Structure 1
Amino acid sequence: MEIDQLKQSKIFKSTIILLALLIFGLLMDFFVMPWFVDLGDEKEMPDVVEKNANEAKNLLEKQGFTVIMADSVFDASFEAGMVVEQMPLAYSTVKTGRNVYLTVSIGERPIIMPNLFGISPRDAELKLNALGLKLKATLGSYSDLYPDGAVISQSFPQGQQIKKNTAITITVSFGEKPENRTIPNLIGKSYSAAKQRLEQLGVSIDKVEYEESTSYLPDTVLKQSLKEGTSITEDTKLTLTVSKLESDSQDN
């Protein structure tokens, strides 16, 4: 009896062990192994260069990758916020779940505004052009600190960061303001230069007349109604006669 009971007990234990091994094998086959296989899936890396960084991040994460914003660089070829470089490279075969490193553009490198004070307009223009900037306009004003012809102000302060091709306006000194203002000689000057000079002197242009001329470029002052040296008062006005091409018609 005792021997039979021992045999039955061993058979029962063996059956339990076999069932346990069978269940373990089924679990491994249907659940555990597929999970490991999935971790090793390979995919083609999508191309996210020239995409917005947020858009690229969302796209990669949806495909199971981990995105790391590795660096940001100045790059005139890419707008700020666009992906400049990715690692791994686009279209390479990689494991799902791996890290993808993105380099993002922060736009074009800014230019540091130089100091133009005290130099000539020509030197100022050359200095701006060398940095990729432009001279937009040149104004004039009297100055007790700077000699005639020297730059006395600029539209952006020295050291300010500005974009390439920004147009800069400068103001140039006329020298010290004379106590007795008189009408200058404007003949032979361009109309725009004559107008600017008169504005600085507080003189209004009452009228502009046009006269055909083959000796002067268009818009050159040929005559002025007040002679050079005439004292200027608060209500001083004058008429300018300006050249035009033959058969040219312009409104006064």
Structure 2
Amino acid sequence: MHYLKEWIVTHQNMFKGLFATIAILMGLMVLADWLIMPLYTQHGRERELPDVTEMSMAEARSLLIDNGFDIVVEKSVYDATYPESTVVQQNPAAYSRVKNGRRVYVTLSAGEKLVQIPHVIGKSERDAEFTLKQSGLLLGDVYYEYHDYHLRGVVSDQSIHASLEVTENTSIDITVSLGREPHRFLVPDVVGKSFEDARKIILKSGLEIGSISFVVKREYVPDTVIEQSLKSGSEVNQGSAIDLVVSRLESMLWQ
């Protein structure tokens, strides 16, 4: 016991110094956690994020940098609503409170999507419509003309040349060949057909639609052809017109 007491007395100052060192280190750690680290991370210095949507990229960049933020383009998307290089979305959201120096990710408009017009001359009407649809386009008006080169039922012309670029959902008109022009034309039977179907059949036959009159016939579906002026199966000259009588509901006659 005597030797133990002497050893404790001898090393007492050393223990005091060790405890003091530990206390100082712990104090420094607390100081670093509460003072130095907040300064480094800018903890507690949050700012309201401005709204940069619907701004150009240049305007958005300038505003964010002036307010102490960074800007990163995350992606571009086709958007017909906004011009190209306009900010359409931002993350974090506008007016949220974030730290200074925070990166703001934006999505830019790539403008309207342009598609290349396909070549449909030489295709059937159905194939042409399918090809246009596959390219993001619409089939517009369909015209029928006699053609010495293209066979009957084949597209002989298109309203916009192939390989040009247009916006999506643009309508492309086509002309379909009726084959070689005959000397005489057979009158088709369109009675009982809808008016739209009758119109197509008459035009495909190389004839014209004459006057159209409407009558109330409750036994027929509205817009049904119930009479035609030229007898079906008869031969007539090119360009002859067929007058039609079409059924309507009584209320539709006044529209």
- Using the size of structure 2 for normalisation, the TM-score is 0.60
**Aligned CA-pair RMSD:** 4.1
Partner of 1:52: 55
Query: Does the residue aligned with 1:250 lie in a helix, a strand or coil?
Result: helix
Aligned to 2:76: 73
* 230, 237, 240: which one aligns with 2:235: 230
SS in 1 for 2:190: coil
> How far apart are the structure 2 equivalents of 1:249 and 1:102?
53
Q: 2:167 aligns with which of 147, 163, 166?
A: 163
Q: Distance in 2 between matches of 1:230 and 1:209?
A: 26
Is this contact kept in 1: 2:151–2:177, CA < 8 A? yes
Q: Does 1:122 align with 2:126?
A: yes
Distance 2:46 2:145 in 1: 69
Partner Cα separation in structure 2 for residue 240 and residue 86 of structure 1:
60
1:190 to 187, 190, 194: 194
Which amino acid is 1:192 matched to?
A: E
Contact 1:203 1:232 in 2 (8 A): no
Equivalent position SS for 2:235? coil
The answer for the alignment partner of 2:99 in structure 1 is 93
CA drift at 1:238: 3.8
Partners of 2:194 and 2:151 in 1: CA distance: 23
- TM-aligned CA deviation for residue 133 of structure 1: 2.7
Change (3 A) 1:232 1:179: closer
Task: Quote how far apart the aligned CAs of 1:205 are.
Answer: 0.8
Contact between 1:74 and 1:109, CA under 8 Å: does it hold in 2?
Answer: no
- Distance of 2:187 and 2:112 partners within structure 1: 49
Q: How many residues align?
A: 208
**Match in the other structure for 2:217:** 212
Q: Answer whether contact 1:144 1:177 (CA < 8 A) is retained.
A: yes
Does the Cα contact within 8 Å between 1:112 and 1:161 map onto a contact in 2? Answer: yes
Q: CA deviation at 1:220?
A: 2.7
Contact 2:144 2:203 in 1 (8 A): no
Measure, in 2, the Cα distance between the counterparts of 1:105 and 1:207.
49
Q: Letter of the aligned partner of 2:116 in structure 1?
A: I
Letter in 2 for 1:205: G
Deviation per residue, 1:205-249 (Å, 9 max, x gap): 1453536263x5432323222223232267x4443222345x565
Unaligned 5+ segments in structure 1 are 1-39
Distance in 2 between the 1:154 and 1:233 partners?
24
Q: Distance in 2 between matches of 1:114 and 1:66?
A: 43
Distance 1:185 1:49, change over 3 A: same
CA distance in 1, matches of 2:212, 2:92: 72
CA shift, 1:153, in A, is: 2.4
The more displaced of 149-158 and 205-214 is: 205-214
Q: Is the 8 A contact 1:111 1:163 kept in 2?
A: yes
Quickly say closer, same or farther: Cα 1:250–1:130, change in 2 above 3 A.
same
Q: Distance in 2 between matches of 1:178 and 1:202?
A: 12
Q: In the superposition, relative to structure 1, how do residues 249 and 44 fare at CA in structure 2: closer, same or farther (>3 Å)? A: closer
Q: Identity rate of aligned residues, in percent?
A: 31
